């Protein structure tokens, strides 16, 4: 009985070690910012973006004037 328990424990430990070793080379590639949607009205345009690394939603605003810059602010941070 002791040998069976020892062999099962060794097999479980070897399986876990193989799984952990296989995970270390895994590369997680995600886009830094994902566009969620856009809208415009009366010459003012808005766009919403989601940053998955910081779990934050940004809203950006711009007008149709050439000299106006894009204004982006963090809207909320998700839990």
Tell me, what's the pLDDT at 45? 86
Tell me, what's the pLDDT at 69? 73
Contact 58, 38 (CB under 8 A): no
Question: pLDDT tens digit string along 2-42?
Answer: 888 988 999 999 988 888 777 776 666 666 788 888 888 88
Question: pLDDT tens digit string along 40-76?
Answer: 888 888 888 888 878 888 888 887 776 667 777 777 7
Domain of residue 61 covers 2-77
Structural domains in the chain (count): 1
**Is 57 exposed, middle or buried, given 0-12, 13-18 or 19+ CB atoms closer than 10 A?**
middle
In the DSSP assignment, the letter for residue 45 is E
């Amino acid at each position: 009985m002791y040998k069976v328990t020892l062999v099962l424990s060794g097999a479980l430990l070897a399986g876990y070690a193989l799984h952990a070793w296989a995970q270390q080379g895994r590369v997680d590639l995600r886009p830094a910012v994902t566009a969620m949607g856009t809208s415009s009205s009366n010459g003012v345009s808005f766009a919403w973006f989601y940053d998955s690394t910081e779990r934050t939603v940004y809203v950006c605003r711009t007008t149709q004037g050439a000299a106006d810059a894009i204004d982006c602010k963090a809207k909320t941070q998700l839990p």
